Amino acid sequence: MTKDSGRFEIRLSGSGGQGLMLAGKLLAEAASVCDGKNTVQTQSYGPEARGGKSKTDVVISAEEIDYPKATRVDVLLAMTQVSADEYRKSLKEDGLFVVDSYLVDDPGHDSAIGIPFTLLAIEKCGRALFANVIALGAIVELSNAVEWESLEKTVLARVPSGTEDVNKRALDVGREAARSATGKAS
């Protein structure tokens, strides 16, 4: 992220129950409370508790944020095929597109980065529900949307007590996966 840019838009999309609202809330908090930026987070989901389309937009800016939703997305995360299909058109030309390659067969985009978040969550953290935190680690590593320390501090402060270690591991798993996906040495 350009540190003095006017507006930086992140869209996290998938299905209800994947923890994307929480992920968006954590990003917004890291950006404002820790990094001192203005942030607005909005959400869109259906009436179901699980399943259905789910999306959250996080807008980060050094300036006042008028329009609260994303329009030209800098970072798009898609955790399902349906959300990849629906939202890839909102991505900026040079935007970063990251998909959960365990659940998305065809990102439909040449420069999409595939990381199997849900599989990594099951294998490295014991449960699929850590996929959201792993994804956060990956997209922050790839985009510098917020400072890494800010993300880590916010996540560890907000997760249920007793789960700090496994959540920290989830962030690191995401960061490592992002580095290997883009060929960066860890």
Partner 1 sequence: MSGNNERPIWVLQGNEACSVGAVAAGVNFFAGYPITPSSEVAEFMARHLPLIGGRFIQMEDEIASMAAIIGASLAGARSMTATSGPGFSLMQENLGLACLAEIPCVILNVQRAGPSTGLPTQPAQGDVMQTRWGTHGDHAIIALAPATVLECIELTACCVSLSEEFRTPVVLLLDEVIGHMRESVAIPAPGSYKVRSRPLPSDDEEDYQPFCCRCNDVPPMAHFGGPHRFHVTGLTHDERGFPTMVPAEVDKKIRGIVDKIELKADDLAMNEETMTDDCEVLLFAYGSSARVAKASVKDLRERGVKAGLLRVKTIWPFSGKRLKELAPQLRTIIVPEMNLGQLVTEVERAVAGVAPVRHLGRVDGHLFEPDQITDFVLEEIAS
Which parts of this chain interact with partner 1 (CB under 8 A)?
25, 28-29, 31-33, 36-47, 64-69, 71
Residue 24: CB atoms within 10 A of its CB come to 24
Tokens at 185, concatenated: 């040495």
Nearer Cβ to partner 1 (53/179): 53
Minimum CB separation of residue 150 from partner 1 in Å reads: 12
Nearer Cβ to partner 1 (17/108): 17
Q: Is 68 left (phi over 0), alpha (psi -120 to 50) or beta?
A: alpha
Nearer Cβ to partner 1 (27/170): 27
Residue 164: CB atoms within 10 A of its CB come to 13
Is the torsion defined by CA of 81, 82, 87, 93 positive or negative? positive
Pairing of strands 53-61, 73-78: unpaired
Minimum CB separation of residue 106 from partner 1 in Å reads: 27
Minimum CB separation of residue 133 from partner 1 in Å reads: 18
Nearer Cβ to partner 1 (11/37): 37
d(CA 89, CA 155): 30
Minimum CB separation of residue 90 from partner 1 in Å reads: 11
